[in-house]
A and B are shown apart, each in its own frame.
Chain A
């Protein structure tokens, strides 16, 4: 199979408007992925499926990832004039990276027996702009998995034929796999509570009797 850099250059030649990045992976496997902007996501995916060199005809997996707001700290050297002498001073700069939702597709080729190519798309934010193009028209197998990502993370897939909840019931409100989801409080009976469960269970313990104050 072509390397990710080659795939990227082919894509950029075929689709000049697409914004494509290669996302590094620091873990041991080091599997890198292609990050595509939402607007050209469908065209990129169609290219990957139909290109004669790639023929990625099989979408094995669709994953949702929730990235909450993250505080990034970086040290920068700033020149400051202290007591008339110019000095380089290290300063810690804090920036907040706004959160987003990410969808990861693992693509393989059954025809050419290669893969995977990992394709990522990100939403603009986690609140109101959570639209991404659906790739179900390209890979029918993505249908239920995109429904699951919608159900648990709240990514709205434009172009999906039947976007409904799949695991939770229809009346359910919210997206339970998001990092800030608060689960219902049913910790009335915890025989062996510990850690976070202990904190939750303690709210249900009877109030301790107040010590009698002798006059």
Chain B
């Protein structure tokens, strides 16, 4: 089957999923940033006691915060700086649902939820790009990345 058919027939569980950073609303900005730095991940999911998402603290929110030049990242809580529009999909949704959220809503990170609405992982633009690349290893994986382009003129005589 082609990519388009697989996007509709395969479920989100087929996507590369990363372990999400889950934090409570009381987590300080400094703690969240340290976790994001350590895991090299651009967001932390703020969850309730049952791991249901309340919102997302992202690099974008961090930039907005830094522009206010705060000197108390140890005291500010993530709950005051979260994006409430937290994009989510169920594991059983088709992969197309992720592409749709990325394309139409500009989602970068998307929470993967279980049937009870609890966060079980994180996917999004990166996972989707890897999924598509896996479909076309010959066209993608074998390509030269970076460096100099091919010569404009033939070398030698």
Q: Do A and B bind each other?
A: no
